[in-house]
Every structure is written in C-alpha cells, then in structure tokens.
Amino acid sequence: MYEKDELTYAIIGAAIAVHSELGPGLLEQVYENAMCVEFRRRGIRFEKQKRMSVLYKGEIVGDMLADLLVEDRVIVELKSVKDLTGIHKAQLIAYLKVARIKTGLLINFNVLSIKKGIQRISV
C-alpha cells in the first residue's frame, strides 16, 4: 500500500517510462493501454475506464468515465493534445468531486518532456 505522495510519484514514474519508450504523437488510448501495462508490472492496482455515477439532489443523472482510478485514491486523466487547457483541468476536478477523491493527475503525453505535461490537482 502506497502513501499518497508515494503513489503519485509511482504513477509519474510509470508515465515517464511510457513516454520514454513511446514518445509523443500517439493516440490517448495507446498511452492508456501502456500505462496499464506499466501499472501491472509495478504491482500498482488500478481500474481502467472507471464508471462513476453523477448525482444531482440524490438522484443519478448520468455517468462519467475516468481514464484510470489508481489504488482507489488517485484519478489519472490522460491526454494526447497540443496543450492542456482549463477545460481539461475542470474535467478532472469534476471527476474528483463525483468520486470523492482528493488527488488527481492530468498527464499529457503529446509533449517533448513528459514532466512539462503533468499536473497534480487536489480538491
């Protein structure tokens, strides 16, 4: 079991490994699949395309899919875009609120240096 900071560092380490091997320019789905391979090899528990119900005044009004839920404590949203925008961050914040999870990582693989494509978000 990872502590919260250890877990985010482990997730970032997996992203660095994936980006080092594959580089930028591929589809988001390819990076998601590669992250799953990395998580399995590192013994990190995760759920891919985690479906979560959205409640409004106590009633389910829809569903949303988070790319990866890691160790039931961190939501990882993956992108392969030119630039991350405010809407990408807002999407992750919405996922965190719906799931009642405090920490998320927004990772954009379409960058030359993966460290520039990672944002940690807490609510």
- In Å, how far are 3, 27, 36, 83 from 22, measured between CA atoms? 28, 11, 14, 19
Report the candidate in 50, 114, 61 with the shortest Cα–Cα distance to residue 84.
114
Q: What is the pLDDT of residues 33-82, one digit of tens each?
A: 999 999 999 999 999 999 999 999 999 999 999 999 999 999 999 999 99
Distance between CA 106 and CA 82 in Å, rounded? Answer: 14
**pLDDT value of position 71:** 96
**pLDDT value of position 2:** 56
Q: Range of 15's domain?
A: 4-122
- State how many domains the chain has: 1
Sign of the dihedral defined by the CA atoms of residues 61, 62, 68, 69, in that order: positive
With a cut of 80, say whether residue 1 has pLDDT above it: no
Report the candidate in 89, 98, 87 with the shortest Cα–Cα distance to residue 118.
89
CATH number for position 95: 3.40.1350
State the pTM of this model: 0.92
Q: What is the pLDDT of residues 2-23, one digit of tens each?
A: 555 899 999 999 999 999 999 9
